[in-house]
């Protein structure tokens, strides 16, 4: 997509925004990494969250880990493009991060929950919404258990939330079933590349 820059009359590329959602454990993080490693010009917008870092996570890499107080202050200052309360914590995307990346010509990938994705659709209808679905709920449970990053109680909460999230997949522009990782990854790449070329 090119937009005329009225000040210089030169062509200035404004990037496209891609939003990835789907239930916890479906493979969003895995597909996101594949996309970022394989698609030039695609950047990830690092979200803010009030949840505690998992072992191995670093502030400013996976997330910006902030306090509830700071999150609420940022909400009151209208700094978020979208935010939501997910699995007992707040998560949000800073407007300034997305705007500066898009304006510098990068395509931007967000990995956010369904409530946040619908807020983005309202504010930026040109965003491309992609839902990652599991082959089955049983497989989702197996992946969450195998990942071994959450307690059984947290896994149960996430599986309950998954059922509600799956009902919203028809609000998305694309649905990818993450059965075979290579195939799903290629499908995601095709969606992003086709959009880039259009």
User: Among residues 61 and 181, whose Cβ is nearest to ligand ADP?
Assistant: 181
Burial of 162 (C-beta count, 10 Å sphere; 0-12/13-18/19+): buried
User: Among residues 12 and 62, whose Cβ is nearest to ligand 5GP?
Assistant: 62
In the complex, minimum distance from the CB of residue 7 to ligand ADP, in angstroms, rounded to a whole number = 41
Choose the stretch contacting ligand 5GP; rule: CB under 6 A; options: 8-16, 32-40, 113-121, 126-134.
Answer: 113-121
User: Among residues 13 and 62, whose Cβ is nearest to ligand 5GP?
Assistant: 62
In the complex, minimum distance from the CB of residue 134 to ligand ADP, in angstroms, rounded to a whole number = 9
Interacting residues with ligand 5GP between 43 and 102 (CB under 6 A):
47, 51, 82, 84, 86-87, 91-93
Q: Which does 116 bind (CB under 5 to 8 A by kind): ligand 5GP, ligand ADP, none?
A: ligand 5GP
- Give, in order, the Cα–Cα distances in Å from 137 to each of 72, 77, 187: 34, 39, 21
Cβ atoms of residues 176 and 124 within 8 Å: no
Cβ atoms of residues 87 and 158 within 8 Å: yes
Closest CA to 48 of 15, 82, 7, 11: 82
């Amino acid at each position: 997509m090119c937009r005329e820059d009225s000040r210089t009359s030169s062509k200035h590329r404004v990037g496209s925004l891609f939003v990835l959602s789907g239930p916890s454990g479906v493979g969003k993080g895995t597909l996101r990494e594949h996309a970022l490693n394989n698609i030039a010009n695609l950047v990830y917008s690092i979200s803010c969250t009030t949840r505690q870092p998992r072992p191995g996570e670093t502030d400013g890499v996976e997330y910006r880990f902030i306090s509830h107080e700071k999150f609420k202050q940022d909400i009151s200052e209208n700094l978020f493009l979208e935010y939501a309360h997910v699995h007992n914590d707040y998560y949000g995307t800073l407007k300034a991060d997305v705007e500066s990346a898009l304006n510098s010509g990068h395509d931007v990938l967000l990995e956010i929950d369904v409530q946040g994705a619908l807020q983005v659709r309202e504010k930026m209808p040109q965003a491309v919404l992609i839902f990652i679905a599991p082959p089955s709920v049983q497989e989702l449970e197996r992946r969450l258990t195998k990942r071994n990053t959450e307690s059984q109680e947290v896994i149960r909460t996430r599986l309950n939330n998954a059922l509600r999230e799956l009902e919203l997949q028809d609000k998305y522009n694309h649905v990818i079933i993450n059965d075979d990782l290579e195939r799903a990854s290629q499908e995601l790449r095709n969606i992003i590349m086709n959009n880039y070329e259009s």
